[in-house]
Amino acid sequence: MARRPLILVSPSIEKRGVEFHDLSASLSVKYDFAVLQGGGIPLTAPATIDRAVLAEAVRSVDGVMLTGGDDINSDLYDPKLPRKIRRTVDQTPDGGGRDLRELILIEEVFQQQKPLLAICRGHQLLNVAFGGQLIADIRQQVPKALNHQRLDLAGELVHEAALTPGSLLAKICGKRILGVNSSHHQAVQTASDPLVATAISPDGLVEAMELKPQAGLRMPFMLSVQFHPERLTQKFTAHRAIFKAFVAACARNRQAKS
C-alpha cells in the first residue's frame, strides 16, 4: 500500500503558549483535519529561520501548506505606509521570524518543485514574495468594500467569488461562482507577476491566485486562496475538493520523482 503524502504545514507563533507560557508554535486543528481528510499526513514546520534546515524539511515532504495568522510586516511590501494605517498592522510576536521562515519556504518550494497550497496569510505572503503589494487595512483603503472580518461566521459562506473559467480552482471546484468565508482585514492589492488572480470577490478583492499559464515557471501544483477552505470541508464538497486535489498532486509529484 502506497504511503500517504507528507505535507509540511507552517504554523503561527503565539506570544503565550500553554506550556510555561513560552513563545509557542500554534496551528488550528482544522488544517490537520483538512489535510487528513484529503488523504495526506500533516507535519508542522520547524520554528527556525535556518535555511539549510528548512530546505531539508521541504526535501523530506511531498508538499507545503502555508496557513493564516498574524499580519505580514508592512516593511516587506510598503515601507512608506502611512502611520494611521500602519497602526492597524499586527506585528508577529517572534519579531518577523515567521515572515522570513515562510519566505524561505516559498523559495525552496519553487526551487525543489514541490506542490504549494497557500491560505489567507500564506496567499498574501506569496504575493509579497514576488514583489507584490498588499492592502494593509481594507476598511481604510477600500472604503466601499464588504466586511471581510466575519470571524463570527468563520465556518460559513459569507460572500461569493467569481472564478476564472478554466483556472485550476474552477476545475477543482467545478464551479464558476464559489461561496467563501471571510476573516481578514488585509488583502492582495494586485497579483504580482508571474501570479494571476483567478477568483475575485464582489468588491474586487483577489480571492485566489495561480501561476500565469504563459509564465516561465512550472509547478506541479500552485494555488493560493484568501479564504479558509479548511474551515468549510465538513459542509461543502467544493472546499473539501481543494485539499483532495492538493494531496493528489503531492502524491503524483512524488511518484514522478521516484
Pairing of strands 6-10, 63-66: parallel
Q: Which one of 123, 159, 184, 228 is the catalytic residue? A: 228
CA 251 distance to own-chain centroid: 20
Active site includes 250? no
Active site includes 173? no
Q: Please measure the distance between the N-terminal and C-terminal CA atoms of the chain and give it in whole angstroms.
A: 16
CA 135 distance to own-chain centroid: 16
Q: Which one of 120, 159, 173, 210 is the catalytic residue? A: 120
User: In whole angstroms, how large is the CA radius of gyration of the chain?
Assistant: 17
Phi-psi region of 134 (alpha: psi -120 to 50; beta: other; left: phi over 0): beta
Cα separation, 121 vs 28, in Å, equals 14
Place of cell 504575493: 127
Backbone angles phi, psi at 207, to 5 degrees: -100, -15
Active site includes 230? yes
**In the chain, what's the furthest Cα-to-Cα distance?**
57
Cα separation, 162 vs 201, in Å, equals 6
Enumerate the active-site residues: 120, 228, 230
